Every structure is written in C-alpha cells, then in structure tokens.
Structure 1
Amino acid sequence: MNLTGLDTNVLVRYLVQDDAAQAKTATSLIEKTSRQGGEFVVNAITLCELVWVLESAYSYSRGQVSHALENILRTAQFVIPDRELAVESHARYQKGRGDFADYFISCLNDRHGAKVTLTFDRALKGDPRFQVL
C-alpha cells in the first residue's frame, strides 16, 4: 500500500485553493497519488488544526467547516486513524457550541475510560461529557 501523511498546510491548500502555486502542487500530488491507488493519512491533530485554520485564518463559518470535515471523512483516499472518533467529534461539533478539538479530546478521553472531561470553556456548559470549572 502506498501511504503518505498529509500536513495541515497541504490539506488547507488543497481545500481552499488560495495560493495558486501551492494549491496546484497539492492538488496535483493528491490527485496523482489517488489515481495510482495511494492513500493519505489525515490524523486527529491535522483535523483539529485544519478546523482551527479554517475558522481563524479564513473566517469559515461553522457550517462551512462542517462541510469540509464531512468531505474529508467521506473521502476513501484519506485514511483517518480513529475514524469513528472523528465522525463522532464531527457530529458533536455540528450540534454543539464547543470547538471540534474539544469534542475530539472528549471522545479520546471517553475511549480511555474518562467519565467527564474537565474544561474552562464555558461554551461546553450543559454538555454532560464536560465539567466546566
């Protein structure tokens, strides 16, 4: 299997297409590798950083970010470790008020037996998976 990891900035260029030269390089490489049967690892840190970059640097709305995440999660060539946790985190992000990273942290903590995740983030108040301090 031909497996290559993707860094956040390559994924951003591929999705946003804002820097013509880098977008062309990223798109060409991803499409060529995919045609040849290759796959790309998009790990949890990359997903969390992607959401942060799209929200903070590109002012993407929650809906736009959610749509981008959904496309990534559905792309067969993107191998996502802990895919089921990423899907659950995405579902929580769509319904909740917290950040995608907060929901991913909570899902990972749940998997390891944590009953709640402690946080100072007031946006998570009322979510039974978090205890706001």
Structure 2
Amino acid sequence: MKKYWIDANIILRYLLNDNDELSPKAKHVMDMADKGEIALLVSVITIAEVVWVLESFYEIAKSQIADTLSVFVSSRGIECEERDNVLLALEGYKSRNVDFIDAYLAQHALSSDADGVITFDKKHFARLGVKIFEAAVFLK
C-alpha cells in the first residue's frame, strides 16, 4: 500500500468542509484511506498546526478540537506519529486548559526517559503531571 504524508490544509478542508472546490477533494483522499487504498501519515507538527488554526482562526472550542482530532487520528487509514502521546496530549489540552504544544511536550517527556521539562511556564506544566525545572536551577 502506498503511504503519503498529509498536510494540515487537507485535514482542515476535510474537517471544516468549508470550501466548495477543495473540501470534496480532501474528502476523496480521506475516503481512499478509509477504504484501505492508501495510508495517510500525519506528523505531530501537522496536528499542532491544525489545532492552532482551528483555535486561533476559526475560534473553535478546545473540547471540540480535541474530540474531533482524537477521532481523526484514530481513523482507519491514518498513521499518526506518536498516536498515543497525541491522544493523551489532546485530552490534556482539553481537560486542563493548556496549549496543545505544552500538553504534547509534557506527555512526550512522561513517556520517555527524560527527567522532566525545563520551562518558564510553570503554570501550564504544573497541570500536566510532569516534573518541572526552572532554567535558574542550572545556573549553579
């Protein structure tokens, strides 16, 4: 089976169905993946871009974005990088009211052998159950 990396604009046109010319083409690509004719590869950075566009430009609620993308990355024919981390990050993004990127980084740290996250944004990371370090700790 042939595999193709999919860009955020295809995902957005498919999910939003907001363009008479491009949305049907995006749907056709998704239908091909659903039928097992092709596999669509989705990078974490593409998911982050989709989240950002849906939240900032379209002003869609975090809960709707998280729920919709969780279904999308779990769909037949979709091969999402770090699917489990992405799904957990989408849940953290939704339930803990943090940025998706912060939720993903925290989940990525938790699932790796890292000792934690170095950040100036203790507020968001404290909600995500990851060990946090301030940069000042490393000045000693």
Same fold? TM cut 0.5: yes
TM-score (normalised: structure 1): 0.86
Gaps of 5+ in 2: 135-140
Is 1:131 matched up with 2:132? yes
Cα 1:68–1:132, aligned 2, differ >3 Å: closer, same or farther? farther
Residue matched to 1:49: 49
Larger Rg: 2
Q: Percent identity?
A: 23
In structure 2, what is the Cα distance between the partners aligned to 1:99 and 1:129?
15
8 Å CA contact 1:119, 1:130 repeated in 2: no
Cα 1:49–1:38, aligned 2, differ >3 Å: closer, same or farther? same
What is the correspondence of 1:115-126 to structure 2 with a 5 Å cutoff?
115-121=115-121, 123-124=123-124, 126=126
Gaps of 5+ in 1: none
- The residue type equivalent to 2:115 in the other structure is K
TM-score (normalised: structure 2): 0.82
Aligned residues between the structures: 133
How far residue 10 of structure 1 moved from its aligned partner, in angstroms, is 0.9
| Per-residue deviation, residues 96-125 of structure 1 (Å, max 9, x unmatched) | 121111111222233342222123336415
- The residue type equivalent to 2:120 in the other structure is F
In structure 2, what is the Cα distance between the partners aligned to 1:50 and 1:33?
19
- The residue type equivalent to 1:15 in the other structure is L
Residue matched to 2:17: 17
Deviates more, 1:100-109 or 1:5-14: 100-109
In structure 1, what is the Cα distance between the partners aligned to 2:34 and 2:76?
9
Cα 1:88–1:28, aligned 2, differ >3 Å: closer, same or farther? same
How far residue 2 of structure 1 moved from its aligned partner, in angstroms, is 1.7
| Per-residue deviation, residues 20-46 of structure 1 (Å, max 9, x unmatched) | 111122112322354352110111111
Residue matched to 1:94: 94
